[in-house]
Amino acid sequence: MLFNKPTCKTLKNLIFPSEQTIFSFLRHPHNPPHTYTQKFNYVDVYMKWKKDSYYDSIEQIHKSIVLKPIISLKNCISQDPNGCIPISDVSKRGIQLEVPMKVARFLRLYPSIFEEFTGPQYSLPWFRLTPEADEIDREEKRVYEDCREDLRDRLKKFILMSKEKVLPLKIIQGMQWYLGLPDDFLQHPDKNLDESFRFVEMEDGLKGLAVESGEKVLSTVQRNAMKKGVYVGGPMEAIEFPLFPSKGLRLRRKIVDWLKEFQKLPYVSPYEEFSHLDPDSDISEKRVVGLLHELLSLFVEHSAERKKLLCLKKHMGLPQKVHKAFERHPSMFYLSLRNKTCTAILKEAYCDESAIEKHPLLRVRNKYINLMRESATILKTRRVNSRFADLWDSGSENEDGKEVAE
C-alpha cells in the first residue's frame, strides 16, 4: 500500500482524526448533506491490484465478449425469412457486428452453432443455425416475451440513475448487451415501453429517451438492508456495503480504519438528487460506489468492461477518475484483466446468490456458451482425425512405392 507524497497534515489527520464523529449530523439535522465529510482522507491512496483466480475463472463473464458477435450473427440468420444467408450478407459487416476476424473464419469456429453448406448461387458458402442453436434461439425469444416487464424496469432504472432522468439513444444502444435488451427493443416502443417513457430532443441534436416517474425507487443495497432490518428508509441514513475480501488481501491499518469510517457514512441512493454534494467529499464517493454497485446489479453477468462505462460519466455525474472507485474498493469489486481488457465484476453477485436477482436472460446465454464449448471439442476432433488421415495416406504411399520398387 503506497501513499502518493502525503503531507504531514494528511498523516496527522489519518493518525489523529477529529474528535467530531461522522454522526455529528444527528445533533444538527438541518445541515445539508454536503457538510457530512469524513475526516479520514483517502483520495491520495494507491491500492495494489491483487489477482483472484475465482473471478478470473467465471466462464459466463469472460465468454460474454466473444458471445456478443456470435449472437449478432445468429440474429442475422434467424431474422432472414429463409433461415439462412450467404456469407456475402455479413462479410462486410465485421466491424459493425464486432467480429474480431474475418466473418467466414469466425463462423467456422463454432460448428455447433453455425452450419455451413453450399448455396444455390455462385457456389458461395451459406450458413444456417444448427438444430440445437435454433432451439435456444426460440427459447431466447420466449424469454424476451415473458420477461418484457422485467427488461423494461431495468431500462427504467438505468435511465433514472442519470442526472436529468434522460439518456441519449446511442448510450442506451451501447449498453443494451449488458442490460439484456434485444437489438430491436427501442424500435418497437408501443410494445416494449410504457407511458412513463418518452423520446426527446437533447443538446447537440441527439435523440434521447426520458423517464417520468414520481414513485420512489429503492436500490438493491436499500432493499437488502431493509430485509436485514438495518435500514428503515429515512433520509441520510447510513448503510454499510456488503464486503467480500479476496483471499490473501492485506490492507494497512490506516486503510482499514478509513474503510470502517466510510461504511458509517450516510448512504445516498443512485436514484436521489446529488447536486448538493461536495464532489470532493467521501460521502460523494459513497454515492459513486453505490451507483456502480446498482449499475452492475442490473446487468446480465453483473459485470462490464470498465472502458464501456466511461461514456456514462457525463450523464450520471461520475467523477473524471471514476475508474479509481473500483480500485479503492477491492472488497466490493474485482477487476479482471483477462481477454486483453479490464472487466469490472460485482463480487456480491457471485458470493451471495440471494442478494441480487438473477437476470432472466442469463440461463439462455449459458446455453450458448455450452455450444461454444462443444464447438471447441468438434474442431479438436477434426484436427486429430485430419492428422490421422494424413499419416494413413503417407503410410499408404510409402507401401505403394515399395511395391513398385519390388
What pLDDT is attached to residue 251?
A: 79
- What's the mean pLDDT in 105-133? 92
The reported pTM is: 0.84
Contacts of 228 (CB under 8 A, 6+ apart): none
Whether residue 34 has pLDDT greater than 60: no
Q: Are 258 and 331 in contact (CB under 8 A)?
A: no
Q: What is the pLDDT of residues 22-31, one digit of tens each?
A: 444 334 444 4
Please report the sign of the dihedral spanned by the C-alpha atoms of residue 9, residue 12, residue 18, residue 22.
positive
Note whether 347 and 55 are within 8 A (CB).
Answer: yes
Contact 293, 221 (CB under 8 A): yes
Average pLDDT value for residue range 247-251: 81
Question: Does pLDDT of 406 surpass 80?
Answer: no
Q: Residue 246 pLDDT more than 70?
A: yes
Query: What pLDDT is recorded for position 283?
Result: 92
The pLDDT tens digits of the residues spanning 147-196 come to 999 999 999 999 999 999 999 999 999 999 999 999 999 999 999 999 99
What is the distance between the alpha carbons of residues 203 and 168, in angstroms, rounded to a whole number?
10
**Cα–Cα dist 5/119, whole Å:** 68
Per-residue pLDDT band for 391 (boundaries 50, 70, 90) equals low
